[in-house]
Amino acid sequence: MKIKNLAIATSLLLSVATFAQKDEIKAAEKAIKAGNPAEAKASLEAMEFKVVNLEDALKAQYYFVLGNANLELAKKKTEEGKNLIAAAKAYSELKEIETHSGKAKYSSQAETSLKEVKNLLTNDAIADSNEKRFKESAQKLYQVYNLDKKDTTMLYYAAGTAINGQDYDSALEYYKKLKDLKYSGKATLYLAKNKSTGQEENFGSDLKGRDFAIQIGTHDTPRIEKVPSKRGEIAKNISLILIQKGDVAAAKKAVSEARISNPEDTSLILSEADLYLQTKDYEMYKKLVSEVLAKDPNNADLYYNLGVISGQSSDKQTKIDAEGYYLKAIQIDPKYKNAYLNLAVLKLDGEKELVESMNKLGNTPADLKKFNALKAKQAELYKSAIPHLEKAYELLKDTDVKKTLLNMYNALDMTAKYNELKAKN
């Protein structure tokens, strides 16, 4: 009899506790409606240890209200990133509980709120990136990916942003996930110009949507843009991070495995070539370069990419090869603007050292003689770079290129050229 009474007493205690927690959750809901999400969050977090013993329906309600409190705080710009991540976690917990219980009371509302969280978190990540807070931006982009794991592009952006923030451990983790997911990023984009704004709009992969806009007359000038595979870039970045960590063997294995999985992907051969260039294995590098060119000898992009890779080398002959690759890209495509620009940069290689040497000299006759000799060498570098910069400016109309050209004209006393370029808008 005593045991039976104890069981009844325990049941009553649990019932009272459940009612109390229901009241606490309702009070938190009222606090949010009254514009006090911080008060609501504090009271909900205070009862967090009790949640494990609640029935599923009440647990779901708890996480729904907690998600709302965090979202409202984020909207008020209170620790926006932190509260958005907390909101996402609460809503995800709620959905998992209701999926398991088979009773979906809040899931639909939570799904709508999650979309809002995703948009706000993405915007917050972009703002962080614009302010060069790359590590924080990468963490938020990774959280956006976790909200919708079908959106692997967000994982790709998170990896690249982590690299910018020098958070190489996170970047390696994200790139390895992309590799395991067989992420390519290869796509066909459909674009058209909006007649009312005059601006080109990207319809993504929605060909029907783009064509419908053309048919009803809101858009014109349709075009297609091919986005190349990013597998080579991913394999390359994995290998570069591993090299930085001192694990060259793992780096070579990573890029080799990627090539075996994607034998026709020339970007992966380029990545492997870059890896051997980084480790100063020039023979293997040249072998891989030959393999790339044999696959597609008339591809201007391949020659340009080889120019970029070769131009980063400290090996003198490889730098000479870089110039040849850029010239070949221009031969195939005379309007390859970036090839002209990079050729100019290549021609100016060594200018920094010349300037540093000139700045160290004094005013003695011997120093002045050395200064004039170095100045003459600088002038020769300028003269070799100017034709390529002029062509790059003709194609790009870039203000930085214009400024560089004006400085060079001025240094070489090319007054007529200076005045002519200065007068251009």
pLDDT tens track, the chain, 425 positions: 344 444 444 444 444 445 567 777 888 888 888 888 888 888 888 777 777 777 888 888 888 888 888 888 988 888 888 888 888 888 888 888 888 888 888 888 888 888 888 888 888 899 999 999 999 999 999 988 988 888 899 999 999 999 999 999 999 999 999 999 989 888 899 999 999 998 999 998 889 999 999 999 999 999 998 888 888 788 888 888 888 888 888 888 888 888 887 777 787 888 888 888 778 888 888 888 888 888 888 889 888 888 888 888 877 888 888 999 999 999 999 999 999 999 999 998 888 888 889 899 888 989 899 999 999 999 999 999 999 999 988 988 888 989 999 999 999 999 999 999 988 87
Tokens 């000038």, residue located:
221
- Name the 3-class secondary structure at 110: helix
Query: Does the residue 150 lie in any domain?
Result: yes
Angle in degrees, CA 187, 189, 192, rounded to 5: 175
- Non-local (6+) Cβ contacts of 59 within 8 A are 51, 97
Please check whether residue 28 is in contact with residue 20, taking contact to mean a CB–CB distance below 8 angstroms: no
* Same domain assignment for residues 100 and 153: no
How many other β-carbons are positioned within 10 Å of the β-carbon of residue 408? Answer: 23
In-domain check, residue 4? no
Locus of tokens 């590098």: 285
Domain count, the chain: 5
For residue 127, tell me if it sits in a domain. yes
* Domain region containing 237: 232-334
Q: List 191's β-bridge partners, or say none.
A: 202, 223
Say how far apart CA 228 and CA 267 lie, in whole Å: 9
Residues 6 or more apart from 214 whose CB is under 8 A from it?
Answer: 192, 220, 222
CATH code assigned at 298: 1.25.40.10
Q: Is residue 1 part of a domain?
A: no
Q: Which helix (H) or strand (E) holds 402?
A: helix 399-411
The pTM of the full predicted model, rounded to 2 decimals, is 0.59
Same domain assignment for residues 51 and 22: yes
Phi, psi of 412, deg, nearest 5: -95, 10
Q: Which of 334, 362, 393 is the last residue of a domain?
A: 334
Please state, in angstroms and rounded to a whole number, the distance separating the CA atoms of residues 293 and 31.
Answer: 67
Alpha-carbon span 294 to 286, nearest angstrom: 12
